[in-house]
Chain A
């Protein structure tokens, strides 16, 4: 099952523990070095899909300034999915690096 980049980062952001929506958004920016900046519509679309697929689940709810703040946690299935995705990404990166090394050798075919 292939996950899109926002979904991968949402799951990765939850590896350290439950977070609420804005916490996930900030954590994604942090761990991606500012490369992944999720808009709220994209974030909750990903949360909804991942929740339906059983990769993350509702943890608890706080009331802050009269507003409901829902926290989510990653499931075992979610950990497996993000680990599998990381392996696939790593393998793809290895292949590309190997190709780059090959193309950098003088006389090698591009």
Chain B
């Protein structure tokens, strides 16, 4: 196996949990070395897919005796992957919507949708890298999220092409700020996270939410945003207990999306929930579908794991 291929495989193996790597990384590299022809420079697609699936399986399993740091790190990575999924779902959904109107990918700012995808992917790519890179990626993500608040002032603040000016994406953006803050503190799987980690993660969605409220005062009020902020805060507080609960950092939109739909169906029975057009509620539900599926897979894996351990 040449050095380029080894380096690429090492990057993929860096996504496995610390304890898994400590036990298997060297042996896996040896195995990959034996399985690769000398001329190969890039990972075989089948092996690459298998390694990525292995990462998700390894991180989705509730490890007996895991430290809280491992749990944090696993939750963060799962949440980041899911955030990428939701961004991709939004892109696909937008494409379909516009296709039905015979206009391919014609949104007011199609490139901003793609940029959301790009910076989510960049955040994920930064996770296994050095602390400085993570810090830079997290700050870039946080700044990008806060810039969404400015789109409503096109005269004073003409929003750049990479800012997504769709306010209903607020929970997604806020959900990404939470992982971004955690990324800053990720050090050896957050085993040494300090006393500021949780408070910072808890308050991260607040400025984003308030910024959008201020910027869009004509159509959104604080009451509409409070449930999102509260849900995300609860999700972050629960994250250390179980990695699957950390999924809620980016899935916080789900209960509110359901409320949103209920609000539509019951004609304003819940005045404190969102009041948006049906099509928007449907869009959000479409976007969270990958979350539901992946959360279901995660739970079923965890149950299978428990069965495997039962005497």
Contact = CB atoms under 8 A, between A and B. Distances in A.
Given A1-B308, A67-B26, A42 B33 contact: no
A21 interface: yes
A39 B50 contact: yes
Interface in A38-70: 39-45, 47-49, 52-53, 64, 67-70
A88 B300 CA distance: 23
A89 to B, nearest CB: 18
B54 A42 contact: yes
A22 B31 contact: yes
A79 interface: no
A40 B47 contact: yes
B310 A20 contact: no
Given A44-B24, A67-B30, A69-B27, A22 B35 contact: yes
A41 B51 contact: yes
A48 B30 contact: no
B35 A1 contact: no
B308 A40 contact: no
B308 A49 contact: yes
Contacts of B29: 67
A42 B32 CA distance: 12
Contacts of B20: 48
Interface residues of A, number: 23
Nearest to B27: A70
B129 interface: no
A24 to B, nearest CB: 9
Contacts of B307: 1-2
Contacts of A52: 64, 308-309
Interface string B42-58: 00001101111111011
A68 B54 contact: no
Contact of A39 (B23, B27, B47, B64): B47
Interface string B282-311: 000000000000000000000001011110
A44 B27 CA distance: 9
A25 interface: yes
User: Which of A20, A40, A48, A64 is most buried by chain B, counting CB atoms within 10 A of its CB?
Assistant: A40
Nearest to B20: A48
A40 B58 contact: no
Given A39-B50, A48-B23, A53 B308 contact: yes
B308 A25 contact: no
B30 A21 contact: yes
B241 to A, nearest CB: 21
B34 interface: yes
Contacts of B26: 67-68, 70
Given A48-B20, A48-B24, A21 B54 contact: no
B28 interface: yes
Given A53-B308, A70-B26, 16 more contacts: A1-B307, A1-B308, A2-B307, A21-B30, A25-B31, A40-B32, A40-B51, A41-B47, A41-B51, A41-B54, A44-B31, A48-B20, A48-B23, A53-B309, A64-B30, A68-B26
Pairs A-B, 5 closest by C-beta atoms: A39-B50, A41-B54, A41-B50, A21-B31, A68-B26
15 contacts: A1-B310, A21-B27, A21-B31, A22-B34, A40-B32, A40-B50, A41-B50, A41-B52, A41-B53, A41-B55, A42-B50, A53-B309, A67-B26, A68-B26, A70-B27
